[in-house]
Amino acid sequence: MPTEDMAAVAVREGAAMWPAMSIEEATRRLCAPGALFEMETVSIAGVPTRTWKNQPPTLAALAKAVHAGYADRELMVLEGDRVTYDGWFRAVAALAAKLAEAGIGKGDRVAMAMRNLPEWPVAFFAIASLGAIAVPLNAWWTGAELAYGLTDSGARLLICDGERWQRIAPLAEGIPTLQAAWVARVGATELAGIARAFEDAVGPVAGYGDLPPGELPAVDIAPDDDATIFYTSGTTGAPKGALGTHRNILTCSLANAFSIHRSHLRRGETPPQTTPRVTLLVIPLFHVTACNAVLMGTLATGSKLVLMRKWDPLVALGLIERERINNAGGVPTIAWQILEHPERARFDLSSLETIAYGGAPSAPELVRRVHGDLNAAPNNGWGMTETSATVTHHGAEDYLHRPDSCGPPLPVSDLRIMAPDGRTELPVGQVGELWVSGPQVVKGYWRNPEATAATFVDGWVRTGDLARLDDEGFCTIVDRAKDIVIRGGENIYSTEVENVLYAHPAVTDAALIGLPHRTLGEEPGAVVHLAPGEQATEAELQDWVRERLAPFKVPVRIVFAHDTLPRNANGKILKTELRPFFEPFRSGV
């Protein structure tokens, strides 16, 4: 029986008979009764919903299953640290016991703020095994932004690394619910007040395999119980916490495998047996893509993650060769930097089978370059925080033939294209707002009923993206209805940056738009109008934003308008008329 790496070979050589099977028929076969991807209909909040019949019911159940099946395999590698499934599970059990001793129980919020460290998946599963709610915070946030997330979620305990604690510590006393902080990779003598060393609970990463065998706590957890709060900034106001469940997250555990099997059937091949793969993970685990899609898919197949402290394309090329990486990517930026690195030719990249990316606009040229220059299968998809990551998945020949599309939906998901009235479903080929339903759609926004009511309708989430469907169900995102810039996979909501600019005493008008960038997809640029008699420079306003928001949100270019910005009859700034302001600076695009 062929193995999964044959997918890349087939794409490289081409398949004359492609497509050997329709999307509809491939889905029917893969989801037939008794098959791995069999579906069943369950009631979620009173809405009949298709879901994978064979996915684990809870995160604790997944942890137990993979430990039983893959104990001796390596799970994580970070520089000199190598952690097996057994070592990881021992650390998860030890940390869960310590969290329980600290009074953490079902429904309590425990925040996490750190780099991609081996401690991250340990903390995540320990929290979830207690029925508590993990709150992954954006590690790029400023201290004030992190403090907001802690306060809004009502987190009782924070697990973080030293860099994040330095940002939060001066503000900790003002966070009413925060009782303790467990800080990783910082000497105990450097900690005071509510902070203690994370290693007091589980020891250093190198010793995980030597911890005593342990069991996860016996807690009654249901698939639709709360599990996570991932923050996604709103187009207006403060960031909103998307409240996810165990079922939401675990829907992703079978998504990539289904897509691989579908590609084989489309190619006229027998689907492969599942074999472990090695993935280079460079996107942050505080994003649903890395946590829900990559981490869960890795665990479900007994595969391995190679982590990086920070992205460096030269280091990544060395890791691909040394660790025999099969899967890499994350966002288009990373794919471009691998492709175009001047030293790429001196590395053996033959182990690469797939380059997957999403989260930012990508050019059709990138699809061809991944296929032609790296001899790898390109993969793409679409999802959002509110859908717990993957909704559509696009790979191999399907992607090569439709490079503008983000693929068809998973069989457990449904897509609608809706007219502006929110009631009329539009026919094939017409552009409207993309609505999504499925078992991965979150419950709503944490303690924000107004925003929840505006976004979630009878099991459907209004995505704010403008899209169209073709007659086979392939989705193409045409534009975004939400006022958002996506810089290398990071969401920048315009209102947040504009409000900071408005707070500057010299600024009376401000608007943020996305400037095209070949590798990042977009970068933020701002047009401002100054009050009569006031002065400000581009660098001064950039520093003003940098002091108040995460660095990736700082406009790379700020231009000045002599007049107030153009508006429509309702007073909304016409951002489509602002692009000419940036024409003199397009040489670097």
Mean of the pLDDT values across residues 235-249? 87
Does 510 lie in the same domain as 455? Answer: no
- Tokens of residue 558, six digits: 């700020």
Mean of the pLDDT values across residues 229-238? 74
Q: Does the CA dihedral 355-360-364-366 come out positive or negative? A: negative
Does 368 lie in the same domain as 421? Answer: yes
Which residues have a Cβ under 8 Å from the Cβ of 90 and sit 6 or more positions away?
208, 209, 211, 212, 213, 214
If we measure between CA atoms, which residue out of 360, 209, 342 comes closest to residue 283?
360
Q: Of 457, 480, 503, which residue sits at a domain end?
A: 480
| 471 in any annotated domain | yes
Within 10 angstroms of residue 587's Cβ, the number of other Cβ atoms is 5
Does 529 lie in the same domain as 401? Answer: no
Does 304 lie in the same domain as 162? Answer: no
Give the distance, in angstroms, between the CA of residue 245 and the centroid of all CA atoms in the same chain. Answer: 16
Mean of the pLDDT values across residues 75-91? 97
Mean of the pLDDT values across residues 140-149? 95
Does 428 lie in the same domain as 310? Answer: yes
Q: What is the pLDDT of residue 585?
A: 65
**How far is residue 55's CA from residue 232's CA, in Å, rounded to a whole number?**
26
| 538 in any annotated domain | yes
User: Can you state the percent helix, strand and coil of the chain, rounding each to 5?
Assistant: 35, 25, 40
Does 421 lie in the same domain as 273? Answer: yes
Mean of the pLDDT values across residues 211-221? 96
| 582 in any annotated domain | yes
**How far is residue 476's CA from residue 316's CA, in Å, rounded to a whole number?**
31
List the end-to-end C-alpha distance of the chain, in Å, as a whole number.
46
For residue 16, name the pLDDT band (cuts at 50, 70, 90): low
Does 442 lie in the same domain as 572? Answer: no
Which residues have a Cβ under 8 Å from the Cβ of 531 and sit 6 or more positions away?
505, 506, 507, 508
Q: What is the pLDDT of residue 360?
A: 59
Q: What is the pLDDT of residue 216?
A: 97
Does 540 lie in the same domain as 453? Answer: no
Maximum mean pLDDT: which of 112-116, 358-362, 473-477: 112-116
What counts of helices (H) and strands (E) characterise the chain?
A: 19, 28
**How far is residue 76's CA from residue 85's CA, in Å, rounded to a whole number?**
8
Does 279 lie in the same domain as 336? Answer: yes
Q: Of 432, 455, 480, which residue sits at a domain end?
A: 480
Domain containing residue 190: CATH number: 3.40.50.980
Q: Of 480, 495, 521, which residue sits at a domain end?
A: 480
Q: Are 413 and 378 in contact (CB under 8 A)?
A: no
| 71 in any annotated domain | no
**How far is residue 315's CA from residue 292's CA, in Å, rounded to a whole number?**
25
Say if residue 11's pLDDT is above 90. Answer: no
| 425-473 pLDDT per residue, tens | 999 999 999 999 999 999 999 999 999 999 999 999 999 988 999 999 9
For residue 236, name the pLDDT band (cuts at 50, 70, 90): low
If we measure between CA atoms, which residue out of 367, 381, 446, 449 comes closest to residue 415?
381
Domain containing residue 555: CATH number: 3.30.300.30
**Percentage of the chain surpassing pLDDT 90?**
73
| 375 in any annotated domain | yes
Say if residue 201's pLDDT is above 90. Answer: yes
| 28-71 pLDDT per residue, tens | 999 999 999 999 999 999 999 999 999 999 999 999 999 999 99
| 375-399 pLDDT per residue, tens | 999 999 999 999 999 999 999 899 9
**How far is residue 528's CA from residue 565's CA, in Å, rounded to a whole number?**
8
| 226 in any annotated domain | no
| 247-293 pLDDT per residue, tens | 999 999 999 999 999 999 999 999 988 889 999 999 999 999 999 99
Q: What is the pLDDT of residue 357?
A: 83
Does 516 lie in the same domain as 542? Answer: yes
Does 378 lie in the same domain as 256? Answer: yes
The residue among 576 and 308 whose pLDDT is bigger is: 308
- Tokens of residue 429, six digits: 């080929």
Q: Are 518 and 361 in contact (CB under 8 A)?
A: no
Say if residue 329's pLDDT is above 90. Answer: no
Q: Are 266 and 26 in contact (CB under 8 A)?
A: yes
Does 492 lie in the same domain as 475? Answer: no
Range of the domain at 506: 484-588
Calculated CA dihedral for residues 508, 514, 517, 523, nearest 10 degrees: 60
Which residues have a Cβ under 8 Å from the Cβ of 228 and sit 6 or more positions away?
128, 133, 134, 135, 136, 243, 244, 248, 249, 291
Domain count, the chain: 3
| 261 in any annotated domain | yes
| 363 in any annotated domain | yes
Domain containing residue 457: CATH number: 3.40.50.12780
Least confident range from 134-138, 143-147, 493-497, 500-504: namely: 493-497
| 473-495 pLDDT per residue, tens | 999 988 766 678 888 888 887 87
